[in-house]
Structure 1
Amino acid sequence: MTLDSFTFPDWIEEFQIGDDVFGSAYEATLPPRRAWMKKTIAQVYAVNSPDSPQKTWVVNTWKGGFETEVSTAPLDCVVMLVDQGATSAVRILAALTPALAAGVKNILVVFTGEGELSQAVLTGFELAGQEAVISIENEKCDELLSNIKDSEVDSAILDLRSNPTDIPYAQNIKYWRAPVVPRIAVCLDEDGPDMDILSFAHPDAIIEEVSIEDLAEFSGYAVVVPAELVGEALVDFKLVLSHGQEGCWIWSDLTDIFFKKDSVALAVC
């Protein structure tokens, strides 16, 4: 099955979240907060080389009298799993946007479990142009993933559920589970950052104010620091956000490369 022929099963349309829900969420999210989500989308999209060719074919000739030919193309489909506890719109968008930048045509967001998606997360999908968002029970989710596995298309699962269940291994499916971000350290100065925006961006995390002196003692995934401390903080943290970037996010281990498939040939010159 090729990129052009793959489609998700027809039954998912029954569980599509309606335009009215998206519209209400968008209107309920204040414009300054929408602006921070737009900034995350724009920056992560730019980092992941959206202007590069969708498909490439590279031939290298080596001294040993042989050559390699490498074909690269976007995956056939991507499924993002979220649940009621997945409330950070910017972290979700930072996972979704590289797939969009890579040129994946079939992207589906699947909400599972009890409750419903937060208004901020729904607004983020609206801003990113991600219209295919469904809400289904866990059993139907298993059926969907089995369908993708059986189709043998090159796929990926982005698991941002707060209570993830194990996903059976499948050779044709890449799997990425979002790191847990329970705490974010913040070094304040006279210019910020905006603590209200930080709380909005990460409603599931503890935002902990720390001094510059105590920063090295903090154990966590991310910190927010004045610009002059960025280089120093990079030594100890996966993500460093300078003041002025506090409402954004990017995943260091998730780029457009993850959303592409490679084929390599060894040939005689």
Structure 2
Amino acid sequence: MFEFPLWLQDYQIDDEIFGEAYEATLPPQRAWLKKTIAQVYGINSPEAPSKTWNVNTWRGGFETEVSTAPLAWTVLLLDEKSVSPVRILAALVPALAAGVKNILAIYSGEGDISQSVLAGFELAGQEDVVHLPQNKVKELLDHLMRSGVDGAILDLRVSHVLLPCGPCVRYWRAPEISSISICKEEDSPDMDVLSFVHPDVEFVEVDEDSLEDAQSDAAVVPAEIVGDALMNYNIVLAHGQEGCWLWNGFNSSFFKRESVALAVAE
């Protein structure tokens, strides 16, 4: 059974700090975090079995047997500029849905971790969150590389820091989101909500005609023009979903180890 090193307990963020962060996040804000957790979890099919074994018989008298199982561990790397709770949750929740048992969030930035991010972890049930100096981050990652146990690193830091690599480790770096196009109608979308979930992003106001000319990383649009927006953006949120997030092309399959066997058909 894989376990993270015991010395990490010395760097665990106290329950009191989690509690303060939760109380500092207003109920309507927490509701958006809960909605993101529920939707991303639902998309990643949590009802599916954590382990599978499929046998296929092919023409020519042979079989392939494929088994899948969750990776043993996942770490999320955060720094002081990792401040969007929904973008972090959209990376964390697929690992939870995949059934990864050992998940650790590592904050290695200056100052304290964002209270909204901590509130999101609290709502997702992610209790293992540590604040590590850079030398301890390297020590931990070196240990994980040497362990030979399959795992994943989710890099949500803004700063680019070289990481050790190993044959059993998968690496995903969150795409940069620095601007979001906003197409408004009446009182939608809620800009206060957008500012809460993306405090690090520039919002660019556009209309339906100028939407395709904006050079933003995502778009928030009325539901009736979602199809048009998808022609120009990889991530589109309809009005009513502005406080949520979903990473395009990233899901629970990233956290599954697959083994394949070639056999003679019986």
Please indicate the TM-score interval, normalised by the length of the shorter structure: over 0.9
Residue among 38, 43, 59 paired with 1:42: 38
Aligned residue in 2 for 1:69:
65
Aligned residue in 2 for 1:13:
9
Q: Deviations over 1:63-118 (max 9, x none)?
A: 12111000000000000000110000000000000000000000000000311111
1:265 aligned partner, one-letter code: A
| Moved segments of 4+, more than 4 Å | none
Q: What CA distance in whole angstroms lies between the structure 1 residues aligned with 2:119 and 2:62?
A: 52
Show the 5 A alignment for 1:150-189. Answer: 150-189=146-185
Compare 44-53 and 203-212 and name the one that shifted more.
Answer: 203-212
Aligned residue in 1 for 2:94:
98
Q: Would the aligned equivalents of 1:83 and 1:116 in 2 still touch at CA under 8 Å?
A: no
Q: What CA distance in whole angstroms lies between the structure 2 residues aligned with 1:122 and 1:191?
A: 30
Q: What CA distance in whole angstroms lies between the structure 2 residues aligned with 1:60 and 1:220?
A: 44
Shift of residue 219, structure 1, vs aligned partner = 1.4
1:60 aligns with 2:51: no
Q: Would the aligned equivalents of 2:141 and 2:164 in 1 still touch at CA under 8 Å?
A: no
Q: What CA distance in whole angstroms lies between the structure 1 residues aligned with 2:40 and 2:88?
A: 12
**SS class of match (1:264):** strand
Q: What CA distance in whole angstroms lies between the structure 1 residues aligned with 2:259 and 2:99?
A: 17
Q: What CA distance in whole angstroms lies between the structure 2 residues aligned with 1:195 and 1:56?
A: 44
1:261 aligns with 2:228: no
1:237 aligns with 2:233: yes
Aligned residue in 2 for 1:209:
205
Aligned residue in 1 for 2:188:
192
Aligned residue in 2 for 1:249:
245
**SS class of match (2:106):** strand
1:123 aligned partner, one-letter code: A
Q: What CA distance in whole angstroms lies between the structure 1 residues aligned with 2:246 and 2:212?
A: 22
1:146 aligned partner, one-letter code: D
**SS class of match (2:257):** strand
In structure 2, the gaps of 5 or more residues are none
Q: What CA distance in whole angstroms lies between the structure 2 residues aligned with 1:79 and 1:214?
A: 40
TM-score (norm 1): 0.97
Q: Deviations over 1:216-263 (max 9, x none)?
A: 101122100000001111111111100000000000121000001000
1:252 aligned partner, one-letter code: N
**SS class of match (1:208):** strand
Q: What CA distance in whole angstroms lies between the structure 1 residues aligned with 2:251 and 2:60?
A: 33
Aligned residue in 2 for 1:221:
217
Q: Would the aligned equivalents of 2:142 and 2:164 in 1 still touch at CA under 8 Å?
A: no
Q: Would the aligned equivalents of 2:145 and 2:165 in 1 still touch at CA under 8 Å?
A: no
Give the alignment's Cα RMSD to 1 decimal: 0.7
Q: Deviations over 1:137-191 (max 9, x none)?
A: 0110000011111111000000001113021221110000000000000100014
2:221 aligned partner, one-letter code: V
Q: What CA distance in whole angstroms lies between the structure 1 residues aligned with 2:167 and 2:223?
A: 43
Q: Would the aligned equivalents of 2:152 and 2:171 in 1 still touch at CA under 8 Å?
A: yes
Q: What CA distance in whole angstroms lies between the structure 2 residues aligned with 1:202 and 1:18?
A: 25
Shift of residue 211, structure 1, vs aligned partner = 1.1
Q: Deviations over 1:32-88 (max 9, x none)?
A: 000000000000000000000010000000012111000000000000000110000
**SS class of match (2:42):** helix
Shift of residue 203, structure 1, vs aligned partner = 0.4
Q: What CA distance in whole angstroms lies between the structure 2 residues aligned with 1:170 and 1:218?
A: 39
Aligned residue in 2 for 1:148:
144
